[in-house]
Chain A
Amino acid sequence: MASALRRVVGSAWLLTDPAACTAYACDGLTSWRARPLAVVLPQTTDETQQVVRVLAASRIPFVARGAGTGLSGGALPRADGVVVGLSRMRAILGVHLQDERVTVEPGVTNQAVTLAVTAAGYRYAPDPSSQQVCTIGGNLAENSGGAHCLKLGFTTHHVTGATLVLADGEIVRLGGRALDPPGFDLLGAVVGSEGTLGIVTEVVLRVVPRPAAVATLVAAFDQAAAAGAAVSAIIARGVIPAALEMMDRTALEAIEAAAHPDYPPGDAVLLIELDGPPGRCAEEAALVAACCRAAGATACRLAADGEEASRFWRGRKAAFAAMGRISPHYYVQDGVVPRTRLPEVLAAIRQLEAEHGLRVANVFHAGDGNLHPLVLFDGSRPEQRRRAEVVATRILDACLAVGGSLTGEHGIGRDKLCQMPKQFSVADQMVMHRLRAAFDPQGLCNPGKVLPTPRLCGEGPGVYRPHPAERAQVAERW
Chain B
Amino acid sequence: MVSTATEIGQVLRRAAGAPAVRPGTAPDRVAGVRPLWVVRPPGIDEVAAALAAATSHGWAVVPRGSGGGLDWGPAPHRCDVLLDLTGLDGVLEHVAGDLVVTARAGMTVAALQQAVGTPAARQRLMVDAHGRPSATLGGLVATAAAGPRRHGYGTPRDLLLGARFVLADGTVARTGGRVVKNVAGYDLCKLLVGSRGTLAVVVEVTLKLHPDPAHHALVVVDGVSAAALPGLVTAIRRAPAVVTAAQALWPERQLVLRVEGSREATIAEAGALARELGGRVLTEALGARCWSRLLRRPWERPGAVVGVAVPPGRAGELAERLGELEGSASLSAGLGVGTVRVADDPAALDRLRGAVEQIGGWCRAYRVSPGGFERVATRPEPGVLRLMANLRGQLDPSGTLSPGRLGWGLP
A interface list, Cβ under 8 A from B? 96-101, 121, 142-143, 145, 149, 153-154, 156-157, 166, 170-174, 176-189, 191-193, 209, 212-213, 232-233, 235-238, 240, 276-280, 283, 336-340, 365, 368-370, 403-412, 416, 420, 423-425, 427-432, 434-439, 441, 450-451
Contacts and interface: CB of A to CB of B under 8 A. Distances in A.
Interface stretch (B6-14, B81-89, B382-390): B382-390
Chain B interface category by residue count: 35 or more
B171 A99 contact: no
By CB atoms of chain A within 10 A, which of B171, B172, B180, B190 has the most? B180
Contact of B177 (A101, A186, A403): A403
B186 A178 contact: no
Contacts of B377: 182
Contacts of A237: 211
A192 B191 CA distance: 13
Interface stretch (B37-45, B234-242, B285-293): B234-242
Contact of B394 (A232, A410, A437): A437
Interface stretch (B103-111, B131-139, B261-269, B274-282): B261-269
Given A183-B388, A280-B242, A336 B182 contact: yes
A100 B158 CA distance: 18
Contact of A277 (B167, B242, B313): B242
Interface in B149-202: 154, 157-158, 167, 171-175, 177-191, 193-195, 199
Contact of B179 (A100, A153, A173, A403): A403
Nearest to A211: B240
Nearest to A440: B390
Contacts of B314: 98-99
A412 B336 contact: no
Interface string B198-217: 01000000000011010000
Given A182-B384, A439-B387, 6 more contacts: A98-B230, A183-B384, A189-B187, A280-B265, A407-B182, A434-B394
A280 B261 contact: yes
Interface stretch (B53-61, B294-302, B304-312, B342-350): B304-312
B313 A98 contact: yes
B119 interface: no
A428 B173 contact: yes
Given A99-B336, A408-B183, A184 B191 contact: yes
B387 A427 contact: no
Contact of A434 (B154, B183, B395): B395
A104 to B, nearest CB: 16
A336 B97 contact: no
Contact of B361 (A178, A279, A420): A178
B221 interface: no
14 contacts: A99-B311, A149-B181, A178-B360, A184-B199, A184-B384, A185-B194, A276-B240, A277-B242, A279-B264, A280-B262, A365-B181, A434-B395, A437-B394, A441-B390
Interface in B395-411: 395, 406
B165 to A, nearest CB: 8
Nearest to A100: B312
Contact of A193 (B186, B199, B384, B393): B186
B369 interface: no
B238 A209 contact: yes
B391 A435 contact: yes
Nearest to A238: B211
A410 B182 CA distance: 10
A232 B187 contact: no
B179 A337 contact: yes
B244 interface: no
A231 to B, nearest CB: 9
Nearest to A144: B183
Given A142-B183, A438-B387, A338 B395 contact: no
Contacts of B218: none
Contact of B265 (A279, A368, A432): A279
Contacts of B187: 143, 156, 188-189, 191-192
Interface string B367-390: 000000000011111011111101
Contact of A405 (B177, B309, B381, B383): B177
B64 interface: no
A368 to B, nearest CB: 4
Contacts of A338: 95, 98, 100, 178-179
A98 B312 contact: yes
A211 to B, nearest CB: 9
Contacts of A100: 237, 312-313
B99 interface: yes
By CB atoms of chain A within 10 A, which of B262, B307, B311 has the most? B311
B386 to A, nearest CB: 8
Given A235-B97, A431-B167, A438 B183 contact: no
Contacts of A182: 362-364, 377-380, 384
A305 B222 CA distance: 40
A431 B202 CA distance: 14
A425 B167 CA distance: 14
A403 B261 CA distance: 31
A276 B238 CA distance: 10
A240 B262 CA distance: 14
Nearest to A98: B313
Contacts of A149: 181
A97 B312 CA distance: 10
Given A184-B391, A189-B191, A232-B97, A153 B312 contact: no
B387 A450 contact: no
A182 B388 CA distance: 11
Given A143-B187, A236-B96, A154 B181 contact: yes
Contact of B337 (A180, A189, A451): A180
A183 to B, nearest CB: 4
Contact of B360 (A172, A176, A405, A431): A176
B335 interface: yes
Contacts of A337: 179
A369 B172 contact: no
Contact of A185 (B190, B360, B378): B190
Contacts of B237: 100, 209
Contacts of B391: 184, 435, 438
A432 B189 CA distance: 12
Contact of B184 (A171, A185, A412): A412
A74 to B, nearest CB: 10
B275 to A, nearest CB: 14
Given A153-B158, A235-B99, A338-B100, A183 B380 contact: yes
Contacts of B210: 240
Contacts of B189: 188
Contact of B336 (A178, A365, A425, A438): A178
A193 B384 CA distance: 17
B186 A435 contact: yes
A172 B384 contact: yes
Nearest to A339: B98
A438 B393 contact: yes
B297 to A, nearest CB: 19
By CB atoms of chain A within 10 A, which of B99, B181, B195, B261 has the most? B181
Contact of A145 (B181, B213, B385): B181
A179 B309 contact: yes
Given A277-B240, A280-B242, A431-B173, A408 B230 contact: no
